[in-house]
Structure 1
Amino acid sequence: MKSYEKDPTLGSKVAQHLKTLGIDNPVNGNIDNNLVQQSIATLLSGLGIPLDDESIAKTPERVSRFFINELFYGLNYANFPKMTFNHNKYGYSEPVIAKNISFKSTCEHHLVTISGEAFVAYIPGNQVVGLSKLNRVVDFFARRPQVQERATLQIFRALQFLLETKDVAVLIKATHHCITMRGVSDHNVENITYQFGGQFSNSEMKRNFLELIKDNQA
């Protein structure tokens, strides 16, 4: 897991907000390290891989630790990042845009990698947020079994809730390796999802945002 300060209380509030909106992941909140280890061992055995092999013996333990602490740490809202808010003392009223936020997630259908970039913007009201916190919110919601549409909405609604403003925009471009590695095996396809709120729903503001996030712009 990336090292940063966590805020379980804030995470609980965000979780409740997303549950109320009906867009949280369908999980029961019970993370069982022993059960994960046993399940990985069963999977390996089912594939005919001997667990007594020196190279494999500790794999269930390693994978369980990796899943819980890194790959899927976003399933646990106790890991939600601490947010730093400051008074908007300069009265800044134009968009704040974070481009090219790289992330890795996992397709919940095949448990293979989704990799991509997020583009996030908001218009400050009375407060501004530390810029790195936008990256951390993206990373938190990426670190769970996901579908891209839901991840987009979770990031969007969480930021509206945290920033206390409707003026939020989120766009995600991602490559799904369940497409590149199986079936059609298309290595060039890029999937794009987005959600605009408040002033970003205005055609001109939306157009400006999309222009600014283009490659080699701003």
Structure 2
Amino acid sequence: MDAVVKKFPDISDERRDERPSRAEAEAAVETLLRWVGEDPTREGLRETPARVVKAYEELFGGYRQEAGDVLGRTFEEISGYDDMVLVRDVDFHSHCEHHMVPIIGKAHVAYVPDSRVLGLSKIARLVDIYGRRLQTQESMTAQIATAIAGMLRPKGIAVMIEAEHMCMSMRGIRSKGSLTVTTSFQGAFAEDAELKGRFFSLTGHRV
């Protein structure tokens, strides 16, 4: 297949310049340990600040990547295929930007191609990039749809996210197991009720 490569603008340069040092980040974790009433010098916590910062590098690795890093390659040889492409049940872990506690869920992403398609793994990687940032579920849903629209220019896009928010399960109302569902429909999915209905059916939902 012939590939089309494009580069999305990198919007993270300013963020990188403003980041504190690793030592400052570890000191902040130590401050929080003291604030909750712990002794950061005791044996079990001596390495905790370094471990937390290392874990945060992975959990928030999405700030070191942009959509164009994974969507920069598309394929034009699709033999006339013009129906829905759906990648469903993409597991992700994110963190609520209001309380910095986990969001755990699944994303379903579909599009109708207009002459070009993405490698299927690229969609899962895109979900991962946006998941590994502080998020609201609404924003994450829109960001995934916007990124695909900007790169692929498909005839239609559908994104659904179902997630449990630990800020509801672990604190506040403590509503364990409650799921939040968000959707974004563009182009053909917004205009064609039958196509939207097929998307709901294939993702195991009723309209």
Q: For this structure pair, what is the TM-score category when the shorter chain's length is used for normalisation?
A: 0.7 to 0.9
Give me the whole-angstrom Cα distance separating, in 1, the residues matched to 2:67 and 2:48.
25
C-alpha distance in 2 between matches for 1:80 and 1:31: 22
Question: Matched residues in 1 for 2:171 and 2:178: separation?
Answer: 13
2:137 matched residue in structure 1: 148
Partner of 2:28, secondary structure, is: helix
Runs (5+) with no aligned partner, structure 2? none
Deviations 1:117-160 (A, max 9, x none): 00000111221111011000001001011100000001110111
Q: Residues 167 and 197 of structure 1 are in contact (CA less than 8 Å); yes or no, is this contact kept in structure 2?
A: yes
What letter is aligned with 1:74?
G
Distance of aligned partners of 1:11 and 1:55 in 2 relative to their CA distance in 1, 3 Å threshold: farther
Q: Which letter maps to 2:64?
A: N
Give 1:79 deviation, angstroms: 8.8
Alignment partner of 1:75 is 2:63: yes
Q: CA deviation at 1:11?
A: 5.2
Is the contact made by 1:88 and 1:125 (CA closer than 8 Å) also made in structure 2?
A: no
Could you tell me which residue of structure 2 aligns to residue 10 of structure 1? Answer: 7
Retained in 2: the 8 A contact 1:121–1:170?
Answer: yes
The aligned residue for residue 22 of structure 1 is none
Aligned to 2:168: 179
- Tell whether 2:132 aligns with 1:135: no
Which residue, out of 29, 45, 54, partners 1:65? 54
> Once the two structures are superposed, what CA deviation does each residue of 1:102-122 show, in whole Å capped at 9, x if it has no partner?
100001111111001000001
Q: Which residue in the other structure is 1:49 paired with?
A: 38
Per-residue deviation, 1:51: 1.7
Shift in CA distance, 172/112, structure 1 to aligned 2, threshold 3 Å: same
Change (3 A) 1:142 1:11: farther
- TM-score of the superposed pair, with normalisation by structure 1: 0.82
Contact 1:100 1:118 in 2 (8 A): yes
Deviation at 1:87, TM superposition (A): 1.5
* Change in CA separation of 1:55 and 1:65 when aligned onto 2, cut-off 3 Å: same
Equivalent position of 1:170 in the other structure: 159
Identical aligned pairs, as a percentage? 34
Aligned partner of 2:107 in structure 1 is: 118
Match of 1:209 among 189, 193, 199: 199
For 1:39-98, what per-residue CA distance to the aligned partner results, in whole angstroms no more than 9, with x for missing partners? 111111222211211221111111111112x11111223696434422233111001001
Q: Secondary structure at the match of 1:209?
A: helix
TM-score norm. by structure 2 comes to: 0.86
- Say which of 72, 75, 78 aligns to 1:89: 78
Aligned residues of 2:161 and 2:182 also touching (Cα < 8 A): yes
Report the RMSD for the aligned CA atoms in angstroms. Answer: 2.2
> Could you tell me how far apart the structure 2 residues matched to 1:78 and 1:147 are?
18
Instruction: Structure 1: give runs of 5+ residues left out of the alignment.
Output: 1-6, 17-26
